[in-house]
Structure 1
C-alpha cells in the first residue's frame, strides 16, 4: 500500500490525472451525500456491466454471423456493372463487395451493429432499474430532499462522510478505467504520441504490471499485429474502390488493348504485350510526384486521363494496366506496398498481378512503371524489390 501511495504522489502527468479524478469524485460524493453517491455508484456499475455484456455478446454474435453473412452475399452473385457509376453507386459496390470478401471488415461492421443494438436494448432497462433504486434510496444530495430526510440516520455530517467514501470509491473506479485506457493505448499503439511519457510513469508501471498485464497482457501483446491487420484491411478496401471505379472500360482504351493483344493466344502473351505497351508509352509524372512529396497535394487521376495524357505515377500506371488487361479477359489486380528506391531505402509503390488462367492459374507480378529500367515482367527476385502490403 505504501508503494502505491508513493507512486500516486509523484508529480508526473498520469499520477496528477488520477489524483484529480479522486479529489473531484470525493468532493462530489460529499456534496451529494450517502444516498446520492450510492445512486451514482449504482449507475457507474451498471454502465460498466452493460459495456462488458455488450462487448462479449457482440463479439460472439459477430463471429457466428460473419460466415452466414458471407455465404448470403456470395449467393447474391453481386457483380459490378461494366458502366460508369455515380459516386453513390461506387460507394455501394465498394462496401458490399468488401463486406463479402474481407473477413476483418465484415466482422468489424457486424460487431459495431450488434454492440449498438445491445446497448440500446440495455438502455431501455435503465428507467426500470433506476426507478427501483430511487425507491430504495429516496434521499439524495438535493437540499429539499435532505430537508425531507432530516430524521434519517444518514443525515448531516454522517451522510456527507459516507458520501465522500462512496465518492472516493467511484473515483477509484474512474481512475482504473483511465489506466486501462492508457494501457490499451500503449499496448496497441506503442509508437504513438505520448506513449513514452505514459510508460515512464511509476503509477502506470505499477498498475500495468500488477493489475492489467496479468489479465489482458497476452491479448494486448497482439495489439500491434491487430493494428497492422486493420491497416491492411483498410488498404484492401481502397484497392477495391479502384476496382469498382475502373470497372467500366472506356471505348478508346478497350480498342487499344484489343489492338495490342490481337495476335496473342495465351494469357501470358497478352499480359506481356500490355506490360510493354503501357511501360513504353506512359511517362512518369515527376511534377505530380514532387507536388505530393513537397506540398502534400495529391491529384486523383482516372485511367482515361493517364491514357490521354500519356503520363502518371505508379498507381496511375497500375490502374491503366488493370483496365486494359480486364478488357481483354485477364484477371488482374492492383497491388500496393513498398518499392526499392535504389539507395537501400523503400518508398510507397504500386504494381500489378495477373492470373494466368489458361496455364498454371498462378498469379504473376509485373511493374509497368519500371519497364524502362529493365525487365519487370515476372522476373526472379521480384519480391526483393517489391514488398506488398500483407
Structure 2
C-alpha cells in the first residue's frame, strides 16, 4: 500500500490527474451527502457494467453482420460509369470502401451496434431512478440529516462514497492509458506515460488481465488501421476515374491484345506509358514555386501525352482496368537514392487472379530504369500512412 501511495504522490502528469479525480470526487461526495453520493456511485458502477456488456455484444454482432453486409453490398452497389459530382464521388468512395475493406466495415458495424445497444439500455435508467426515488420518499424513513449531527455524518459518508467513486474514475483513466500504450507503443506521449511510477504500478496489475490479449497486437492493429485508411484515400481515384473514355479503352485493349497473362498485360501498359508520357516539368515547377496546382484527368493526360506522377498513375489505372486488371493508385514519398525525396504516386496491380498477389510499378520513373516490380521497390517508394 505504501508503494502505491508513494507512486501516487509523485509530481508527474498521470499521478496529478489521478489525484485531481480523487479530490474532485471527494468534494462532490461531501456536497451531495450520503444518499446523493451513494446514488452517483451506484450509477457509475452500473454504467461500467453496461459499457462492458455493450462492447462485448457489439463485437459479436459486428462480426456476424460483416460478411452478410459485404455480400449484400457486392450485389447492390454499382458505381455509375459516368462523370460524377463531388457529393456522388464521396458517397461511392465510402460505400465501395465499406463493401471491400473488412476492417472499415467491421468498425462501422461495431460503432452502430454499440450505439443502438446503449440507446436500448438507456430505457432502463428511468426504471432505476424510480426504484431509488421510491426508497427515499418522505415518510418512509427519517433522513440522516434530521438526526442530531446527521448533516456532518451525511457529508462524511458522502465523502467516503465520493472517494470510492473517484477511485473508480481513476482506474478507468489508467486502464485507458494502458490500452493506448499497448495499441500504440510509439504513439504521442507514450514515453511520458510509461515514466509514471503510478502507471507502472497499475500496469503490473492490468498486464495479467489484458496483457495476453493486447501483447504484440498493438503495432499490428495500428498498422492495419493505417493501411485501411490509406486504402480509403486511394479509393477516391478509382471512383473519380471510374468512367473509362472510349479512346483510352480502345488504346489499352490494342496494347494488351496479344498478351495472355495479367503480368504481361501490366508490363505492356507500363512500357507504353513509360515511353510515351513525358514528365510535365512546367506543371511541377509551377506548383513548387508558386503553389499553383493544375488538376487534370486521365483523358487530358492521354491527349497531351504529359503529366506528373499522379497523372501517370491515374492514366495507368484507367488503362489497366480497361484491360481487365485490378489496380490501385498508391501515394507516398519517392526517394531518388541521392538524399532527395518528395511526394510521389505509383501503382500496384494484381496478377494471378483472385488468389494472386499485388506487385508495384512506377511508369513515371520508367525512363530512369526498370521500375516494374523491381527488388527493393519499397526502399525508394514509401507509402503514405
Q: TM-score, normalising length from structure 2?
A: 0.85
SS in 2 for 1:174: helix
Q: Does 1:199 align with 2:194?
A: yes
Contact 2:256–2:323 (8 Å) recurs in 1: no
**Rounded Cα–Cα distance in structure 1 between residues aligned with 2:338 and 2:57:** 51
1:9 aligns with 2:9: yes
Task: Give the Å deviation of 1:270.
Answer: 4.8
- Residue aligning to 2:52: 52
Q: Deviations over 1:109-161 (max 9, x none)?
A: 1100100000000111111111111222458xxxxxxx976435883111111
- Provide the secondary structure at the position in 2 that maps to 1:196: helix
- Select which of 290, 294, 297 maps to 1:302: 297
Unaligned runs of at least 5 residues, structure 1:
140-146
Residue in structure 2 matched with residue 123 of structure 1 by the alignment: 122
CA displacement, residues 238-284 of structure 1 (integer Å, 9 cap, x when unaligned): 222211111112345445546x6287454666544432332234344
* Alpha-carbon distance in 2 for matches of 1:297, 1:226: 38
Equivalent-residue separation in structure 1 for 2:235 and 2:11 (angstroms) = 50
SS in 1 for 2:328: strand
**Are residues 1:320 and 2:315 paired?**
yes
Q: Distance in 1 between matches of 2:68 and 2:84?
A: 29
Partner residue of 2:171 out of 155, 173, 176? 176
The CA distance in 2 between the partners of 1:9 and 1:197, in whole Å, is: 16
Q: Helix, strand or coil: the match of 1:115?
A: helix
Number of the residue aligned with 1:216:
210
Distance 2:371 2:83 in 1: 32
Is 2:70 the counterpart of 1:85? no
CA distance in 1 between partners of 2:34 and 2:190 (Å): 38
CA-to-aligned-CA distance 1:311-362 (integer Å, 9 cap, x gap): 444333211111123234444333456655314898764322445679x977
> Contact between 1:335 and 1:388, CA under 8 Å: does it hold in 2?
yes
Q: Work out whether residues 318 and 350 of structure 1, in 8 Å CA contact, stay in contact via their aligned partners in 2.
A: yes
1: distance between equivalents of 2:224 and 2:241?
26
CA distance in structure 1 between the partners assigned to 2:181 and 2:103 by the alignment: 22
Structure 1 pair 23–356 and aligned structure 2 pair: CA distance change class (3 A)? closer
Q: Distance in 1 between the 2:294 and 2:384 partners?
A: 23
Superposition pairs of residues 1-390 of structure 1, within 5 angstroms = 1-76=1-76, 78-138=77-137, 150-151=145-146, 155-209=150-204, 211-221=205-215, 222-254=217-249, 256-257=251-252, 261=255, 264=258, 266=260, 270-285=265-280, 301-307=296-302, 310-336=305-331, 339-343=334-338, 349-355=344-350, 364-379=359-374, 382=377, 385-386=380-381
Q: Which moved more, 1:274-283 or 1:314-323?
A: 274-283
**Distance in 1 between residues matched to 2:309 and 2:189, nearest whole Å:** 35
3-state SS of paired residue (1:60): helix
Query: Does the 8 A contact of 1:39 with 1:137 survive in 2?
Result: no
Q: Distance in 1 between matches of 2:197 and 2:257?
A: 73
Aligned residues: 379
Residues in 2 aligned to 1:28 and 1:380: alpha-carbon distance in whole angstroms: 64
Q: Alpha carbons of 1:304 and 1:156: their partners in 2 closer, same or farther (altered >3 Å)?
A: same
Contact 2:144 / 2:151 at 8 angstroms: preserved in 1? no
- C-alpha separation in 2, matches of 1:287 and 1:203: 58
RMSD: 3.4
| CA offset digits 1:289-331 (Å, max 9, x no partner) | 6788899987765324544565444333211111123234444
The change in CA–CA distance for 1:51 and 1:363 in structure 2 (over 3 A counts) is closer
SS at match of 2:123: helix
Q: Report the alpha carbon displacement of residue 169 of structure 1 after superposing the two structures with TM.
A: 0.4
3-state SS of 1:261 partner: helix
Q: Could you tell me how far apart the structure 2 residues matched to 1:55 and 1:294 are?
A: 51
